[in-house]
Amino acid sequence: MINKGLDLGRGPIFPMLMKMSWPSLVAMLAVALANLIDAFWLAKLSTQALAALTACFPLQMIFAAIGIGTGVGAGSYAARMFGANQPVKARQAAGQVIFLSAGLGLLTIVPVMLAPDAILKLFGAHEEILPLARQYMLTIVWGTPFLYLLIMVSNLLRAEGRPNLSMSVVLIFTIVLIILEPFLVFGWGPFPKLGIAGAGLAATISYVAGGVLSIMFLRLKTSRYEMRWRYLLPHLSICRSIYQTGFPTVIMNLVVSGVMIVYNHILTGFGPPALATLGLCFRLYGLITMLLFGIGYGVMPLVAFNEGAGQFQRLVQIVRAAVHFSVWFSGISSLLLILFAEPILTAFTADAELVTATVPAFRIFIAALVLVGPIIVWTNMFIGLGKGTTAMLLMLFRDGLILIPLLFILPHGLGITGVWMAQPISTLLAFFLILFLSVRQIQSFSK
């Protein structure tokens, strides 16, 4: 077998980091653009449609939480096994991913189909936008098994040193979505006009395309996973190892979904335009954070491999290089977004009142974005080391113990401005805690 993957334990640090990160950067940019395209077309449809999409966003984040958590656990485990020269266990992890994506997909579809309105009301959808939100949610849920598969396999491909293939999976899903969505939403050409349900159908078709491509990549003759039917059989010890790292990551991402639910409920009292403002803020903020996660996803398998190989000094150099790069990237990006907030937002909606309300909200929302890069790099360092519980507790500290309480407290004295201020304040406080823990972890390697 010829393997065309990168050797994660050798070579100059920064070039290796870039080789591992740039495909993830492109992939995360594609995901962020897909989210923005959703907001762009549905804002053209109506403010209510954009508000309905925002109400459904926590559900999509739950889907992502399940897929990312399982994929991160499988990828971290596989990278450590490759580093420790135990490839059979890495191949078994890949087999479990296929089994888990099908099982978890079924467990997702059933409750959503049985109680859609109850779930949407829990997420903060009020009666005015409930019918639109229901249409979207009942359409996208059928694609979840394929969504889980493409997210999980993307992590496995990075773990074997093939980030370009991981990028390709995400790109095909995004390209299909971007091309199909306006045709299905507005009924261009021979396509029926489906409105918000068309956006959901475009997403489902794109999930299937990405999932099919994922299977094809795992079955390549050059793949280190060498997929065999016996690897697909349920293996409890491998699944346990996957979720020792992956389950805390699931919880971390579910907390983010919980934060969105709180945002939705609080902003409901300010009307649909406030919910639409959140949708625009969150997606533009997500454009940069997705790119920062691309850097983090490049760091994670490098940390895992070098930890498995006992190359601790190289591991420390990788983390430091990633932190420096993320600070420069997030700093420049946040400055540009603050300076050009109004023309950027005007490109998404012709509603002048919505733009006027969103510009100051967005500038407050991203005020601490420069600190998010190091937080993401250090969090992925802990995940790569198999310390998913530490990463989970850090996320719970920021979102559960700081952000959510601030969302309830600040609006009482500051109104809707207090809602936007909660994000940068919680980021600032969380930064100092993760800085302390990360420095202590790095010092332990030096010793």
DSSP assignment of 105-161 equals: HHHHHHHHHH-HHHHHHHTT--TTTHHHHHHHHHHHGGGHHHHHHHHHHHHHHHHTT
What pLDDT is recorded for position 188?
87
Greatest CA separation for the chain: 67
Contact status, residue 302 vs residue 385, Cβ threshold 8 Å: no
| Gyration radius of the chain's alpha carbons | 21
Q: What percent of the chain has pLDDT over 90?
A: 19
Q: Above 60 in pLDDT, residue 4?
A: no
Inform me whether the pLDDT recorded for 192 exceeds 90. no
pTM, entire model: 0.70
As a whole number of angstroms, the distance between CA 34 and CA 22 comes to 18
- pLDDT confidence of residue 277: 83
Q: At what angle do helices 87-114 and 144-159 cross, to 10 degrees?
A: 160
370 phi-psi bin (left φ>0, alpha ψ -120 to 50, beta other) = alpha
How far is it, in rounded angstroms, from Cα 79 to Cα 155? 10
User: Which one, of 256, 259, 278, 255, lies nearest residue 416 by Cα?
Assistant: 278
- Sign of the Cα torsion 276, 282, 286, 287 reads positive
Q: List, for residues 298-309, the tens digit of each pLDDT value.
A: 787 788 777 777
DSSP 62: H
Q: How far apart are CA 139 and CA 153, in angstroms?
A: 23
Where would I find the H helices in 269-350? Answer: 272-308, 312-339, 341-346
**Alpha carbon separation from 45 to 49, 52, 141, 258, 281 (Å, rounded):** 7, 11, 22, 27, 18
Residues 156 and 78: beta-carbon distance below 8 Å: yes
Start-to-end C-alpha separation, the chain: 39
Hunting for tokens 């937002």 — which residue is that?
345
| pLDDT confidence band for 3 (50 / 70 / 90) | very low
Quick check: helix, strand or coil at residue 415? coil
Closest CA to 161 of 223, 116, 95: 223
Q: Give the residue, 249 or 92, on which the prediction is more confident.
A: 92
What average pLDDT does the chain have?
83
Does the pLDDT of residue 5 top 60, yes or no? no
Q: What are phi and psi of 294, to 5 degrees?
A: -60, -40
d(CA 348, CA 22): 27
One-letter identity of residue 306: N
